Amino acid sequence: MTNNLATDPFESEVRAAFRRHLATLDPLIPTNFGQPEIDRPAPDRVAAAPRVRRGRSLRSGTAGLGAAAGLVLVALIASGLLLRGTRPAVASPSPLVPASGAPTGQATVLSPRVVASFGSDDLQSAVLSPDGAAYVIDSTVSTVYWLSLQTGAKLPILRAGMELAGSVVGNPRVLATGGQDVLILDDANSLWRWRPADTDKTGRGALVKLAIPDSVNWGSGVRALGTFIINAQLGMYNLYVVVPSAGQILKYPPAADGNSFPTAGRANWLAVSQDLSTIDDMYVDGHIFLVDRGKITRHSLGQADSWAPALPAGSAAEPNDPYYTHLAADDPSQDRGTFYAYDRNNKQVVAIRKADGSSIGTYGASAALNDLRAMFVVTAEDGSASLYWLNGGELLAAPIRHAGGVPTASPSPSVGSEPSVVASFGTDELSQAALGPDRASAYVIDTTVNKIYRVDLETGVKVALDVSPDNPSAPPVGRPRLLGSLNYLLIVDSNNRFWVGPTGNRDKAGSLSVSQLTFDAPPSFSWGTGVRSVCVVSGHPADDSEAGAFDYYVASPAGVEVIKYAPVTAGQTVSLHMTHGFDVNQQSAPIDDMYVYSQSVDPLRSGIFLVQGGEISLYQSGKPAPQWTFSRPISSSEQAPYYTVVAGDDLGALFAYDRANKQVAVFSGADGSYVRAALSSPALDGLSSMFVATGMDQARTLYWITGGKLMGALISGGSGGAP
């Protein structure tokens, strides 16, 4: 008799709980946990490398790709949105006295109304949640309240001493919002997630503890929390924590299930640690704005940049210098909208244009701004904005408007979708990115730490790979320099050794076992400075052997030769043999980048795209194809294009990065004719590597690395047939 027929309802509940929780482990059960080897001879080292037979489609065996790519695209369209300050459709409150306009240099007087009163004068923090309600910490009773902005009704959602799933809630200290969640950090550094119930306006929701294994190391002085959405559809976000004891802003990408922030993904966001013990507020919108010792500074790529708020009119001399302590914005998008900064010296709120730091106006409210503890901005559907703030024991609100309405200063309009950050690295030394064989992940080389990261394109979660040879007698893998990808990952290291490794469950867990590809004879030129580019191409039709599955096209270290290597078998061993080589020095400039269509039957004849000296050329049979132009019309306001990087898609289009105009142009892979601009954005500045991911619906997403970020943008269409 088995125990699955329990008649006790409670025991059935216990059984269901066990089964439900155990089921969460199922994704870890290896899908390739196949039949154990019984009498098959052990594969030799090279043959153990993943191989496909000739003619296998790039997309074969990737059934879920379409859906995954679709998710990526939707996520990219919607990503880049910040949680904090997400706009709810909340009607603006009726002002008791309408705000009056005022000339520049004179503060507009706000006439606030009381939204809610607390029996306390120790309100500590308040945020606006995506459901349109406010959440307020009342430190007197160590409670977080949900508060309706329409009615002023409030309900406690978290109280110190509560027990939840075996954990006791500490005193709430810091609030933040992320996606649809409200995040509450208590004084034990436990992070609690409150997720309001869908379509509920009565304050119901679910409270869970988020797992951050190393939060105990933050110490007791966490100054601020921030979040940045990386997947709007799934509501997943990176978490930023200002930790003075570490002198860092710690950045945590979420786990795949969104319920924890693993230590493995943690990164120091600041390039150089600094004293953060006096940080008063932080705002994250792609940049990070810190409010410290009365000043607001903007940080990009981990370093403070030149952005600074202009002095508001009338505060040119001491003691009227503003001393900012709190920051809120009316638009979560990067470089758009207006900041509202509380100036404690002058008891006023200053409106600052996000894009350039210019001052737009100032707002005073007499005693109602004497003791501001927190503030946020609510933008109504009609575009009107209202400022809410905690002062003493009250939540106050007043409509705000400034001359010219809500200003927006956006980057140059993009042809494609707005670029968004897929993953950020704590470095600006990313050298190359390649689309993974599963077409749902990217591999990125970080030369600061000489690591390869696997980045999930859907969630942005990145994992540093521990790359090691599968054969103990093989030499160690050197510093990664170049990546190629086609059904498996190719790594070219600093010693010019070629390594191939299967990707899958193991590399998701952080380890990648690779096999060395050896050459049957030393290369005919010096490889001392390293190859410049490498492309992997699927096999040739005449060779039906496993070994003939892939060819390798290598741009030589001097950048003046392209050499083709093909695998040859001799007994049980497979090695790379140089079969062709041709000189490409006609352009009198070394090769900056090379692209070969991976499914091309014979690239030597059909063509190899090379970028030399800012120009693209197509080489066929070892010579430049004269009919190809690769030119595009340019307007009078543009500079002559200077191409540095090329990439192709699965549909026969060629994408080229124009460094001079920070633009990616599309050319037909069939005849080289210019099709259109795929993307034009300042976010392309500094692009060092890019690739195009094609979804099953033929929608394409451009991914690139610049600075310390892997960026992505949906680019619609393309053109051309197969090359």
Residue 33 makes contact with another protein by CB under 8 A: yes
Contact stretch for another protein (CB under 8 A) within 20-28, 53-61, 84-92, 356-364: 20-28
Choose the binding region for another protein from 53-61, 207-215, 648-656, 673-681 (rule: CB under 8 A).
207-215
Residues in the chain, total: 723
In the region spanning residues 498 to 517, those forming contacts with another protein, defined by CB under 8 A, are 505, 508-510
Q: Minimal distance in Å, beta carbon 213 to another protein?
A: 6
Q: Which residues contact 723 (CB under 8 A, 6 or more apart)?
A: 597, 600, 606, 607, 648, 652, 669, 670
Residue 512 CB neighbour total at 10 angstroms? 25
Residues 165-184 contacting another protein, CB under 8 A:
165-167
Site for another protein in 437-476 (CB under 8 A): 463
Interface with another protein by CB under 8 A: which range of 117-125, 162-170, 301-309, 326-334?
Answer: 162-170
Q: What is the dihedral of CA 338, 340, 345, 348, to 10 degrees?
A: 110
Nearer to another protein, 22 or 89 (CB): 22
Binders in 233-272 for another protein, by CB under 8 A:
255-257, 259-260, 262-264
Residue 111 structure tokens = 């006439």
660 binds another protein (CB under 8 A): no
Residue 13 makes contact with another protein by CB under 8 A: yes
Q: Minimal distance in Å, beta carbon 40 to another protein?
A: 8
Q: Tell me, rounded to whole angstroms, the distance of Cα 619 from its chain centroid.
A: 36
Find, among 489, 488, 549, the residue nearest to 55 by Cα.
549
Spatial separation of the C-alpha atoms in residues 94 and 387, rounded to whole Å: 12
Is residue 36 involved in binding another protein (CB under 8 A)? yes
Taking the least distance from each CB to another protein, the nearer of 167 and 345 is: 167
- Continuous segment of H or E residues that includes residue 637: none
514: how many CB neighbours lie within 10 A of its CB? Answer: 25
Q: Which of 7, 9, 19, 319 binds another protein (CB under 8 A)?
A: 19
According to the binding rule CB under 8 A, does residue 39 interact with another protein? yes
Q: Which two tokens stand for residue 58?
A: 């790039």
Q: Which is nearer to another protein, 116 or 250 (CB)?
A: 250
Indicate whether 317 belongs to the interface with another protein (CB under 8 A). no
CA 206 to centroid of chain Cα atoms: 27
626 contacts another protein (rule: CB under 8 A): no
For another protein, which stretch binds (CB under 8 A), given 28-36, 128-136, 319-327, 384-392?
A: 28-36
Is 164 among the residues that bind another protein (CB under 8 A)?
yes
When the beta carbons of 10 and 636 are compared against another protein, the nearer one is 10
Q: Which residue, 162 or 578, is less far from another protein as judged by CB?
A: 162
Range 109-112, long-range pairs (CB < 8 A, 24+ positions): 109/363, 109/364, 109/365, 109/366, 110/349, 110/363, 110/364, 110/365, 110/368, 110/369, 110/387, 110/398, 110/400, 111/365, 111/398, 112/365, 112/368, 112/396, 112/397, 112/398
Secondary structure of the chain: what % helix, strand, coil (to 5)? 10, 40, 50
User: Please, which residue, 511 or 688, has the CB nearer to another protein?
Assistant: 511
Which of residues 35 and 526 has its CB atom nearest to another protein in the complex? 35
Coil, strand, or helix at residue 215?
Answer: helix
Binding site for another protein (CB under 8 A): 1-4, 8, 10-11, 13-15, 17-19, 21-22, 24-30, 33, 35-36, 38-39, 41-42, 163-167, 209, 211, 213, 255-257, 259-260, 262-264, 463, 505, 508-510
